[in-house]
């Protein structure tokens, strides 16, 4: 053994360590490490060399406290298993990368209570901005957002009153337009299949818009079926079987998402049901999974990646300007009729 004294508890390195190792003041070290102000090349090199040799990692906590600046963007979403949100996150990541901001994710599991807790936790890190899914929040959560004094972007949905900025689509309109397209194609006995989640406001709004669209033609929903949990593809199968057994005269099934829609499509193909002749099908989201199915399910793209991108742009734009925004971006989902709606 070499002459190690009594186990020196290893401190984590500070600016001072780099300062001593390089013979330059802490302030100058700090400047070099942040590419700030003019520093002579020789000094810069010495500092960089020392920092690297020691393995110094700056302490952003101290930095943030001193400078009152944090390069974090809080991103709050209901779920990761939904497939929808990972895409939004990718859009956000992509866009923020360029601006030097860092997304920090929090998950609420569709619970308002949990959302409040996550939001509180994240705001206490004083992020540069907040991106949060949906327009429905508890009063306390809304108050926190309002008082945070930073740009807030509510995403996914524009049907409601945002706290600050909003980027999304109108799910009511999405439902409405789907109903019109279905009726335009001549279908009349229409069923709805969707999730039971009491807090999935967007699915609820799509259904509301859909029923409004049917009402325009004097039609009511003929039957419906709800689920929660489990493999969505399998649920789609099972629900389709159930609803067709109960209401064999249905001529269209509208699914609240593409996964259960895909399950329904596979079921119909299995059973040799004539799609779209005798039975039409449509989903929602535009997940690229659909491209690989034997037949292409009708759907409506929810513009997920684009939503993420635009939201991130709003934050990074304001983080430069220091302003709070109130931007309102409504994206327009386009009906992709695929092969499961009769063509006029």
| Rounded CA separation 122/313 (Å) | 20
Binding site for a second copy (CB under 8 A): 10, 12, 55, 57-62, 64-65, 70, 80-81, 83, 86-87, 89-90, 93, 102-107, 120-121, 123-126, 143-144, 147-149, 230-237, 259, 262-263, 266, 269-270, 288-294
Does 222 bind DNA (CB under 7 A)? Our answer is: no
- CB of 266 or CB of 341, closer to a second copy: 266
Query: Which residues are bridge partners to 77 per DSSP?
Result: 107
Does 66 bind DNA (CB under 7 A)? Our answer is: yes
Residues 6+ apart with CB under 8 A from 69: 128
C-alpha 85: how far from its chain's center? 4
- CB of 11 or CB of 245, closer to DNA: 11
Does 26 bind DNA (CB under 7 A)? Our answer is: yes
First to last CA, the chain: 86
Query: Which residues are bridge partners to 255 per DSSP?
Result: 193
Does 128 bind DNA (CB under 7 A)? Our answer is: no
Q: What are phi and psi of 21, to 5 degrees?
A: -65, -25
Residue 297 CA neighbour count, 13 Å, CB half: 35
Does 288 bind DNA (CB under 7 A)? Our answer is: no
247 binds, among DNA, a second copy, none (CB under 5 to 8 A by kind): none
Q: Given candidates 21, 31, 209, 329, which one binds DNA under the rule CB under 7 A?
A: 31
State the CB neighbour count (10 A cutoff) for residue 115. 26
Does 43 bind DNA (CB under 7 A)? Our answer is: yes
- CB of 64 or CB of 219, closer to a second copy: 64
- CB of 38 or CB of 320, closer to DNA: 38
Q: Given candidates 54, 63, 114, 226, which one binds DNA under the rule CB under 7 A?
A: 63
Q: What are phi and psi of 266, to 5 degrees?
A: -60, -40
Q: Are 145 and 130 in contact (CB under 8 A)?
A: yes
Omega within 30 of 0 (cis) for the link into 236: no
- CB of 290 or CB of 315, closer to a second copy: 290
Find where tokens 């159930």 sit.
242
DSSP H or E segment with residue 154: strand 152-157
- CB of 43 or CB of 79, closer to a second copy: 79
Does 10 bind DNA (CB under 7 A)? Our answer is: no
1 binds, among DNA, a second copy, none (CB under 5 to 8 A by kind): none
Residues in contact with DNA by the rule CB under 7 A: 11-12, 14-16, 24-28, 30-31, 33-34, 36-40, 42-44, 58-59, 62-63, 65-69
């Amino acid at each position: 053994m070499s002459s190690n004294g009594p186990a020196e508890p290893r401190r984590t390195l500070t600016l001072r360590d780099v300062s001593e190792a390089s013979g330059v003041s802490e302030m100058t070290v700090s400047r070099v490490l942040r590419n700030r102000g003019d520093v002579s090349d020789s000094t810069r090199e010495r500092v960089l060399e020392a920092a690297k040799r020691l393995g110094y990692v700056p302490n952003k906590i101290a930095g943030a406290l001193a400078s009152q600046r944090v390069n974090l963007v809080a991103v709050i979403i209901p779920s990761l298993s939904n497939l929808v949100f990972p895409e939004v996150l990718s859009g956000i990541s992509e866009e923020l990368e360029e601006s030097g901001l860092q997304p920090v994710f929090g998950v609420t599991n569709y619970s308002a209570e949990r959302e409040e807790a996550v939001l509180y936790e994240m705001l206490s890190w004083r992020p540069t901005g907040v991106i949060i899914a949906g327009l429905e929040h508890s009063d306390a959560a809304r108050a926190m957002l309002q008082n945070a004094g930073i740009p807030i972007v509510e995403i996914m949905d524009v049907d409601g009153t945002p706290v600050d900025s909003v980027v999304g689509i109108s799910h009511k309109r999405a439902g409405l337009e789907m109903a019109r397209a279905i009726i335009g194609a001549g279908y009349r006995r229409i069923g709805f299949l969707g999730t039971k989640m009491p807090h999935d406001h967007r699915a609820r709004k799509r259904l509301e818009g859909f029923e409004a669209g049917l009402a325009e033609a004097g039609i009511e929903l003929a039957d419906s079926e709800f689920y929660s949990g489990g493999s969505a593809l399998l649920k789609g199968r099972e629900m389709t079987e159930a609803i067709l057994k109960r209401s064999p005269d249905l001529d269209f099934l509208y699914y609240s998402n593409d996964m259960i829609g895909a399950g329904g499509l596979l079921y119909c193909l299995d059973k040799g049901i004539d799609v779209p002749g005798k039975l039409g099908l449509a989903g929602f989201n535009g997940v690229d999974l659909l491209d690989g199915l034997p037949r292409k399910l009708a759907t409506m793209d929810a513009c997920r990646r684009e939503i993420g991108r635009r939201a991130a742009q709003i934050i990074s734009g304001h983080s430069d300007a220091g302003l709070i925004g109130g931007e309102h971006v409504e994206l327009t989902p386009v009906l992709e009729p695929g092969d499961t709606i009769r063509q006029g």
